Amino acid sequence: MSEQTSLDTLGMWEAVTSLPERLSGALQVAGEAFGDTNAFGGNAGRGAGAGAFRSVAAFGLGTGGTACAAAAALTAPDLAVPFWFGTGSAVPAFVGPDTLVLAVSSSGRTAETLVAAEKAVERGATVVAVGGDAGGALARLAGDAGLPWCPSRSGAAVMPARSALGGTTVAVLVALARAGLRQDCSAAVTGASAALARRRDSLVAPGAAPADLARRLGRTIPLVYGATGVAAVAAGWWKAQVNLNAKAPAFAAAVPQLTHEELAGWGQGGDVTRQTMSLVLLRLAGDGPRTAGLFDAVRAATDEVMADIFEVHGEGDDELSRFFDLTLFGELVSLHLAAQEGVDPGPVPAVDEAQAAALLQ
C-alpha cells in the first residue's frame, strides 16, 4: 500500500498536494474580500500626514501565526513601517488609530486572536480579519464590528485549519497591499503557484525526495534549522507538521541565533543523540557567504552527535516561491513519516483536548 492510499480520514494528502491551486484560488478570494487598492484607508488613501498607517501589528497562533511570521519575513525588504507580530492576546501600547492590525486565525476561532482583535477595535485601530469560514467566530466578530474579513479555507472548510497556510499567507499579503503598504503581490503569487505545480509533480512521484528523507529519518527526532527569514519560518512549519501529522516530536531553531547558544548544547550526550536525533538544514539560493559559513560551522559541531545530517534546498525564483517550496516539502515528509508508522495524519486529539480544557478555565 502506498503512503497516498494509507489511513487519512481528513484528506491531508489531498490538502497538501493541492497547495499550488490553493495559492491561486486564495489570490482571487482575497482580492474579492478586500476590494480595491487602499480599501482600508492606508497610506496612499489617507495621504502622508496624520492618519496614515505608521505600524502593523499581527496576531496569530498555529497556522495563523506561521502566516503572520511568513508575511513579516517576506515583506521585510520593502515594508516602510514596523511589522510587529504577537502570539497572545496582549495588545502592545503602540497600537492605535495609525496601526493596521491583522487578526489572523486559520480556524476562525483562536481565542487569543479574537480577544486581541476586540482590544484593537477599542483602541481605534484599523483591524482586518483573516481566517475561518463564514460561520466562524472571527467572521462574526468582523461582521458585528464592520471589519474587512477574508476566509482562508474557501471551499475546504471540512479540512483541518493547518491545510490553509497558503491561503492565509496570501490573504495577509493582499491585505498589506490593499492598505497601501507594499506593492501588489498578484504576479508573485501567480508565479509561485505555477512553479509549485511543477515542483509538486516531482515531489509526489514514487521514491521522490520527501519519501526518501522520511525513510532515512525513520524514528529519529528531526531537528530543523533554517536561516533567519523565510527559511526559519519554514523550519518552524516543518516542526509543527511532524508534531501534528506524524504525532512525533520535532524541534526547530534559526541561524544565526542558534550559533550563540543552542550549538553549545551538543557538546555532551552524543552517545544518546546520535541514536535518537537527525539534523535537517533548510537552505536557500540567496544564502550569503556568512550564512553559508555558519551552516558549515553547524555541520562541524554536530557531525558526531547526530544520527545523520540532511540538507533541503528551497527552489524558486523569489522568496515567496522558495518559502512555499520548503513548506510543501516539509509537509510531504511529515505525511510520509505518518504513513510509515500507520498514523492517521488528520486528527490531533491531544491538541483538541488541551484547547478545550483551556476554554474551561
Q: Domains in the chain, ordered, with CATH? A: 3-191 (3.40.50.10490), 205-340 (3.40.50.10490)
Mention every residue, 6+ apart, whose C-beta is less than 8 A from residue 357.
none
Stretch among 34-48, 92-106, 143-157, 296-310 having the lowest mean pLDDT = 34-48
Walk across the sheet containing 221-227 and list its strands.
251-255, 221-227, 277-284, 309-314
Band (pLDDT 50/70/90 cuts) for residue 42 is: low
**What is residue 306's DSSP assignment?**
S
Set of cell numbers at residue 116: 486581541
Question: What is residue 43's predicted lDDT score, i.e. its pLDDT?
Answer: 47
Residue 138 backbone phi and psi in degrees, to 5? -65, -40
Statement: residue 223 has pLDDT above 90: yes
36: helix, coil or strand?
coil
Instruction: Give the residues across from 282 on adjacent strands.
Output: 226, 312
User: Among residues 20, 57, 15, 333, which one has the least CA distance to residue 170?
Assistant: 20
Statement: residue 49 has pLDDT above 50: no
Cα–Cα distances in angstroms (integers) from residue 181 to residues 31, 45, 46, 47, 92, in the given order: 16, 10, 12, 12, 21
Of 130 and 48, the structure prediction assigns the larger pLDDT to 130
Question: What is residue 152's predicted lDDT score, i.e. its pLDDT?
Answer: 86
Set of cell numbers at residue 86: 504577537
Condensed to tens digits (0 to 9), the pLDDT of residues 16-36 reads: 999 999 999 999 999 999 986
- b (16+ CB within 10 A) / e for 322-348: bbbbbbbbbbbbbbbbbbbeebbbbeb
Instruction: Give the residues across from 56 on adjacent strands.
Output: 83, 100
- Asked if residue 152 lies in contact with residue 132, where contact means CB atoms within 8 angstroms, the answer is yes
Mention every residue, 6+ apart, whose C-beta is less than 8 A from residue 83.
55, 56, 58, 71, 72, 75, 76
Question: What is residue 158's predicted lDDT score, i.e. its pLDDT?
Answer: 62
Average pLDDT over residues 221-246: 98
